[in-house]
Amino acid sequence: MGPSLLRSLNMQAVLASVRDHGPITRADVARTTHLSPVTVSATVRLLIQQGFVREAGPTLTPAGKRATLLEFVGDVFYVVAVVADGSSLTAACFDLSGHRLSGVHRRGVDTPAAVERELPPAVDEALAGRARDRLLAVGVAVTGTVDPQRGVVQESGLFGIRRWPLGARVSQALGGVAVVVENDVNALLVGDRYVRAHRDRANILAVCLTQGVGGAILVRGSIYHGHDHVAGELGALSTQGRDGSTCTLEQAVGERFLLERLRRSDPSFAAADPGALERLGEAPLSPAARAVVDDAADRLVRSVVNAAVLLAPDEVVFAARPWGARLFGEPMRRALASELSHPVPLRILDDPVAAELAGAAALAMSVTPLTDPLSASPQPGQSGAPGADLGRHARAVPLVPTGTASSGAGAPWDRRTAGGGPSAAGTRERAASRPS
């Protein structure tokens, strides 16, 4: 283990201790981290210089000696989380304590060119007047197959693009700010784990129904990307209806496909506005429309049950807009409870974007010196966790990758050039040198 990696791990361990247990003395930090007092003092000095820790005043130890308390500083630097779902763009600013401070939503952002054009000003608007040099990183959750190590969208059907270097282009447009890119459903699962008080379930299948259909898989506490980062692509599954017709799951229940099926089957939907789906389930449907919805529900539930049989998760998370939760949530819950050898509980999220934003923020924090109890080093085919606890010896639940940011030279959050911490490039170097 090189000195740079060791120093990074020490920083993350000390920062986690201060954040989780502060106000806390240096001696107590040494006890909780099992680091020597000399190492703790040197690391604390560096974290104070960077602005992540400050002295909070004197205290008396149990032995009656005077000591100085340390506390975490969560409101000086920021990250911005962005969700690009194929029809709109949402951005929100978070402080390092995870509090959502301000945000912006832009409709009609439905092409790669529109994303690249609208994302940088949306970041500035989400900062709401906060200084750009206080922005540590940007996390982007985007629909499609994503290589988070390179910040490249490998393929996105909704955006109609392949090999899209989104991370590098956004970083360049923002003047070199570190940018992390991840699949939107992976980010959703990260965000859901990030905000929940309990994280006892280490094997989770997430299913997300919005513009399309996607999935994410948590195995032993880590997001599983699979070969070429295509794990979880539930929308590509072939499904068969009761009438014997076949189509992909996305063609059966994805928002635009389902609305088109309803319009073909029921004249009352022909002139319906795009928000017609939001009213599904609120009023009785015609027999023709009910047949379409029942067919979609059957295909979706069969696919999820089959995936649960294969993966044997501790829990299934179903994320959908309110109409999807109303129509498909309870049939899915009943099937998971009754059709498997071991009943699998279902948890429904009716605000997918909120979870995706939380996950994108956690991803952004993963390339800063910040530590978080959800992080650790990634395994092959998996990714680490939100926050910053890069060390595999930390008490952590690994979720998202570390050192995956796209960043130009002289990134604004490079505190080393301004009396502060490591740059994104330095983070990548440490991640690459981490022992397997």
Over residues 397-416, the pLDDT tens digits come to 223 333 344 543 222 223 32
Q: Which residue has the higher pLDDT, 4 or 106?
A: 106
Cα three-residue angle 432-201-297, rounded to 5 degrees: 105
Instruction: Say what the pLDDT of residue 59 is.
Output: 86
Strand 88-95 and strand 152-156: pairing?
A: unpaired
pLDDT by residue (tens digit) across 4-60? Answer: 778 778 888 898 889 888 899 999 999 999 999 999 999 999 999 888 899 998 888
- The separation between CA 104 and the C-alpha centre of its own chain, rounded to angstroms, equals 18
Instruction: Say what the pLDDT of residue 425 is.
Output: 31
For residue 91, name the pLDDT band (cuts at 50, 70, 90): very high
Instruction: Say what the pLDDT of residue 387 is.
Output: 33
Instruction: Say what the pLDDT of residue 76 is.
Output: 83
Q: Which of 257-261, 314-318, 349-353, 420-424 has the lowest mean pLDDT?
A: 420-424
Assess if CATH 1.10.10.10 describes domain 3-72.
yes
Task: Tell me which CATH homologous superfamily contains domain 78-193+354-433.
Answer: ATPase, nucleotide binding domain (3.30.420.40)
Residue 276 has pLDDT above 80, yes or no: no
CA distances in angstroms from 102 to 92, 97, 106, listed in the order given = 6, 14, 14
For residue 355, name the pLDDT band (cuts at 50, 70, 90): very high
For residue 64, name the pLDDT band (cuts at 50, 70, 90): confident
CA distances in angstroms from 418 to 49, 78, 127, 413, listed in the order given = 10, 16, 21, 9
Instruction: Say what the pLDDT of residue 1 is.
Output: 55
Residues of the chain with CATH 3.30.420.40: 78-193+354-433, 198-351
For residue 273, name the pLDDT band (cuts at 50, 70, 90): low
- The separation between CA 38 and the C-alpha centre of its own chain, rounded to angstroms, equals 36
Architecture of domain 198-351: 2-Layer Sandwich (3.30)
Half-sphere exposure of 220 (CA within 13 A, CB side): 6
pTM for the structure as a whole: 0.77
Instruction: Say what the pLDDT of residue 367 is.
Output: 76
pLDDT by residue (tens digit) across 117-160? Answer: 999 999 999 999 998 888 999 999 999 999 998 999 999 988 99
Backbone φ and ψ of 153, nearest 5°: -80, 105
Backbone φ and ψ of 367, nearest 5°: -110, 15
pLDDT by residue (tens digit) across 221-251? Answer: 889 999 989 999 999 999 999 889 999 999 9
Q: Which residue has the higher pLDDT, 106 or 408?
A: 106
Instruction: Say what the pLDDT of residue 281 is.
Output: 67
